[in-house]
Amino acid sequence: MKAGDEKKFSRAECLQILNLPDDALENLMETAYSLRTKYKGNRVSIQILTNVRSGNCTQNCAYCAQSRDSKAPIEKYRSVSDEKLDSNNNLVNEFHLSRHCIGLSGMGFTDKEIENLAERIARMKKSGTHICCSIGFLTEHQARVLKAAGLDRINHNLNTSRRFYPEICSTHTYERRIQNIQMLQRVGFEICCGGIIGMGESKEDVVDMLLDLVAINPESVPINFLLPVKGTRLAERDVSNLTFEYCMKILCLARLLLPKSDIRCAAGREVYFKGHEKELFKVVDSVFASGYLTEGGQSLSETFKTIENAGFTWFVESADP
């Protein structure tokens, strides 16, 4: 395939891409770069994350420090202070970042909790911030309450393939996630949906997850590379297969399959792509700054520098891109 071509890929072709020899990576990246430039120009979207509700989750996702089985020493609280929420929201506007992402641990919410959240979202939307909320399963009524409050986007990840899902979580199903996403699309939300690489899945699992993402066609696709967290079931997971080359092939494949979506290198960026930032931004157009829900990350100012040094821009003219 030559740079500039766009085509549909079969499962076998996707696997071929992940199995390419490392010396074919440069060509693959050039193809991805032409699509990145065509649809996303030269800009990198920067998101910052606020953990609105932390820990004490009823679910048992193996990678997650907030899960019911996790012994990770994280801060746990029912609701972040307005002060913290508003100061992060102001940061997004002050620095002309792309988006404020807010995350809530847990899978089920009462209507009262959703109404409270909607009030906080409506307050933040007054300043025009583009807001994405990472949240569990909502009823359609709850989704409509958040939509009416002005929430733009919802993050609900697939995380891995349908086949591998029971290996990482047994308290809810992959199918329930798909149904939740379909309901959110019906209600009219933009969707952020991606996965985690390095949990013990095969290359076939990675391809199957990406092909399910093609069917969903999310506006944003966060690809996380596992950071094994002490106290979680995956604390000792061997991540030696997460070489720069393998991780990059996955991001390139995501770009080829979903050329118009934001492809975000999320957790793991600072570890697995260290020293390769120029190549990274040729393929992805979206990152988090200032850390992840329970893990630290590159500061905002360092992220600006990294993007600019790689020859890309991040500044958003209006507060609502």
Binding residues for [4Fe-4S] cluster: 57, 61, 64
Dihedral class, residue 220 (left if φ above 0, else alpha if ψ from -120 to 50, else beta): beta
Span near ligand SF4 by CB under 6 A; candidates 80-88, 104-112, 195-203, 228-236: 104-112
d(C-alpha 35, C-alpha 38), whole Å:
5
Q: Does 105 bind ligand SF4 (CB under 6 A)?
A: yes
Are the C-beta atoms of 40 and 285 separated by less than 8 Å? yes
Smallest gap, in angstroms, from Cβ of residue 82 to ligand SF4? 22
Please give the size of the binding site for ligand SF4, defined by CB under 6 A.
Answer: 10
Q: Does 294 bind ligand SF4 (CB under 6 A)?
A: no
Are the C-beta atoms of 216 and 258 separated by less than 8 Å? no
What residue spans of the chain are helical by DSSP H? Answer: 11-18, 25-40, 82-94, 111-125, 140-148, 165-168, 174-187, 203-216, 244-257, 269-272, 277-283, 300-309
Mark the binding-site residues for [2Fe-2S] cluster, compressed into ranges. 101, 132, 192, 264
Q: Does 135 bind ligand SF4 (CB under 6 A)?
A: no
Q: Does 180 bind ligand SF4 (CB under 6 A)?
A: no
Q: What's phi and psi for 235, nearest 5 deg?
A: -55, -40
Q: Which of residues 5-44 bind ligand SF4 (CB under 6 A)?
A: none
Span near ligand SF4 by CB under 6 A; candidates 8-16, 99-107, 182-190, 235-243: 99-107
What is the crossing angle of helices 203-216 and 11-18, to 10°? 130
Which residue among 44, 107, 229, 250 contacts ligand SF4 (CB under 6 A)?
A: 107
93 is written with which tokens? Answer: 């506007």
Look at strands 131-134 and 99-104 and give their pairing.
parallel
Name which of 154 and 252 has its Cβ closer to ligand SF4: 154
Q: Does 160 bind ligand SF4 (CB under 6 A)?
A: no
Name which of 268 and 279 has its Cβ closer to ligand SF4: 268
Smallest gap, in angstroms, from Cβ of residue 56 to ligand SF4? 9
Q: Which of residues 215-274 bind ligand SF4 (CB under 6 A)?
A: none
Q: What is the dihedral sign for C-alpha 218, 316, 4, 270? A: negative
d(C-alpha 233, C-alpha 56), whole Å:
16
Q: Which of residues 41-70 bind ligand SF4 (CB under 6 A)?
A: 57, 59, 61, 64, 66-67
Smallest gap, in angstroms, from Cβ of residue 205 to ligand SF4? 18
Q: How far is CA 267 from the centre of its chain?
A: 8
Smallest gap, in angstroms, from Cβ of residue 59 to ligand SF4? 4
- Contacts with ligand SF4 by CB under 6 A lie at 57, 59, 61, 64, 66-67, 105-107, 136
